[in-house]
Amino acid sequence: MPPSLIVLALSAFAIGTTEFVIMGLLPNVANDLGISIPSAGWLVSGYALGVAIGAPFMAMATSNWPRKRALLALMGIFIVGNVLCATASDYNILVLARVVTALCHGAFFGIGSVVAASLVPANQRASAVALMFTGLTLANVLGVPLGTALGQSAGWRSTFWAVSLLGIVAFAGLWSVLPGQAQQEKADLRREMAALKGAGFWMSLGMTVLFSASMFALFTYIAPLLGQVTGVSPRGITGTLLLIGLGLTVGNIIGGRLADWRLSTALIGIFAALALVSAALTWTSHGLIPAEITLFLWAAVAFAAVPALQINVVTFGKEAPNLVSTLNIGAFNVGNALGAWVGGVVIDQGLGLTRVPLAASALALLALVLTYLTFSQARKSGLVAG
């Protein structure tokens, strides 16, 4: 594999770390800035909304740029955003900084995937794209636990300084080893917009939103749940985040194979399992070992849906795969924001942290229902096999 792929994976690692590490640092940020946990949850929502808004806008804004130039510009935005996070003087500036950081997210993964595929022979393209996205998986396995540990020992700002440094290294790597890319083909807006027609495509995006909302309703508040209910120490929370990262990795591998087997059945089964495991955490969160087992299973089940949902949306928007893939990343992050908000409402209403998993379970059930309706309609229309 070319060195350029390693640099793209490093870039994905940095972006994934800055998105997810805030989960482990939520109590630290809340205490330092004098805000509540639900208010701190908006740091997740703000980032997610920045991705949702920025993904299609940045994709279209850079559609006629050379791809190397586009990736360098997006990584530059990433570095500036993280420096703003590290130096934010108050909560409002930190939220704004998170939004700025998020603007690069969706377009970078969309363009980066195209570049990764172009670097290798045709029979290795899927492996090349998978290698790039390995950086995102490793962000959950290594970046989030290490970033959380650093933030707990040296202050949460130190984590954002460290991620900024990672961004600088990635920028230098992109500049030095990424081949100069030819001008992209001019975007055919009429053809790409036509690919967005049809209820199946929009229902598929709705499935992504509800799945992500279920995942992040729980993931956003995992640190306070473990600390206040399970009684896990700050160092123990770091270890649990590592365990969750391993679960995400296992789930990603299994989910890809399940999606290749039968997409609709896989998604329905995954959402049913996600609803069950999420609900179980309401009771297992009171004991350390049961909570750890449940969270590993939850992470594996949750990330099993990710490759399936990506394949699903391209199935319904196959005439413009780059655009619909970018929009699907935006949908993931709309769900992130929705989930963080739902979890915050549960806490604000005095229902307690142990009721957050039940809210996540309800959202997974809604995703299951929408999945069934989407594929039922698609079969009647002949868009998918029976």
Per-residue pLDDT tens digits for 113-153: 778 877 877 666 656 766 777 788 788 778 888 999 999 99
Q: How many CB atoms lie within 10 A of CB 46?
A: 21
Q: What is the DSSP letter of 2?
A: -
Cβ atoms of 227 and 27 within 8 Å: the answer is: yes
Looking at the structure, do residues 1 and 112 belong to the same domain, yes or no? yes
Compute the average pLDDT of residues 330-349.
88
CA angle centred on 72, ends 71 and 75, rounded to 5°? 85
Q: Are residues 173 and 216 in the same domain?
A: no
The pTM assigned to this predicted structure is 0.75
- Looking at residue 62, the DSSP 8-state letter turns out to be T
Q: Does residue 193 share a domain with residue 182?
A: no
Q: What is the CATH number of the domain that holds 307?
A: 1.20.1250.20
Co-location of 283 and 179 in the same domain: no
- Residue 179's region, left for phi above 0, alpha for psi from -120 to 50, else beta, is beta
Last residue of a domain, one of 148, 166, 187: 187
The verdict on 281 and 181 lying in the same domain is no
> Which of helix, strand or coil describes residue 79?
helix
Does 187 score more than 60 pLDDT?
no
Which amino acid is located at 100 in the chain?
A: V
Same domain for 240 and 374: yes
Is pLDDT larger for residue 333 or for residue 272? 272
**Residue range 227-281, pLDDT digits in tens:** 999 999 888 988 898 898 888 888 877 887 787 778 888 899 999 999 999 999 9
* Shared domain check, 16 and 138: yes
Q: Identify the band that residue 87 occupies on the pLDDT scale cut at 50, 70 and 90.
A: very high
Mean pLDDT value across the chain? 85
Do 171 and 35 share a domain, yes or no?
A: yes
**pLDDT 10s digits, 194-239:** 666 777 788 889 999 999 999 999 988 998 999 999 999 888 988 8
Q: Give the residue from 187, 213, 235 where a domain finishes.
A: 187
Cα–Cα dist 212/338, whole Å:
8
Same domain for 174 and 215, yes or no, is no
**347 with 316, same domain?**
yes
- What is the count of structural domains for the chain? 2
Q: Is 157 found in the same domain as 256?
A: no
Claim to verify: residue 371 and residue 343 sit in the same structural domain: yes
Report the percent of the chain where pLDDT is more than 70: 90
Distance CA 293, CA 256 (A): 23
Q: What is the dihedral of CA 242, 299, 323, 178, to 10 degrees?
A: 20
Identify the domain boundary among 146, 168, 187.
187
Structural domain of 257: 188-386
Type of residue at 130: A
